[in-house]
Amino acid sequence: MNYSGNVEDFKKFLAEKATLAEKQSVKWVQKVCQKVEATSKQIMRDSPTDSSKSYGKHNHHPSFPNNPPSPDTGALMRSVTHSVNIEGDRAVGYVGSILDEYPRDLEFGTSKMQPRPWLSASLEQNRDWIKSQWQKLKGGNL
């Protein structure tokens, strides 16, 4: 970069670049969160169920342990959302469920149920894509 001018012009130039960088980072975090949210919902839809077991009045067939939860009523899928916040000098993305304990119990399991990871599975499925998007952002190609 070559620059010739006064200091105030240079400060303005740097401020504009910083604003652009902040917008790009927020856009990148938003894109990643949307992808992780969509994937978490898709892997629940695609999760195989154990038809040899049936629970409740709706004959719920549970997913197999260590597979994402299969939708019964769809409440968990509808509850998954994301947000992006500016926290200090960082754009921070959140993906999760607005429900209380149920999503956590499925993700990590309980004393009576093996885990049905849905959020970590979505992150893992998107790991390479996220890395590639980061490389694009760093190269200014997003």
Give average pLDDT by consecutive 10-residue segment, the chain, 142 residues: 73 84 87 97 92 75 89 90 92 94 95 95 96 83 58
Helix 127-138 to helix 7-45 angle, to the nearest 10 degrees?
Answer: 170
pLDDT at 124: 97
pLDDT at 120: 96
pLDDT at 3: 58
Stated pTM of the model: 0.81
Q: Which helix (H) or strand (E) segment is 87 a member of?
A: strand 80-87
What six digits make up the tokens of 25?
A: 């980072």
8 A C-beta contact, residue 50 and residue 40: no
pLDDT at 57: 67
Query: How distant, in Å, are the alpha carbons of 5, 71, 75, 134 from that of 13?
Result: 11, 51, 49, 24
What six digits make up the tokens of 12?
A: 């303005």
Rg (CA), the chain: 21
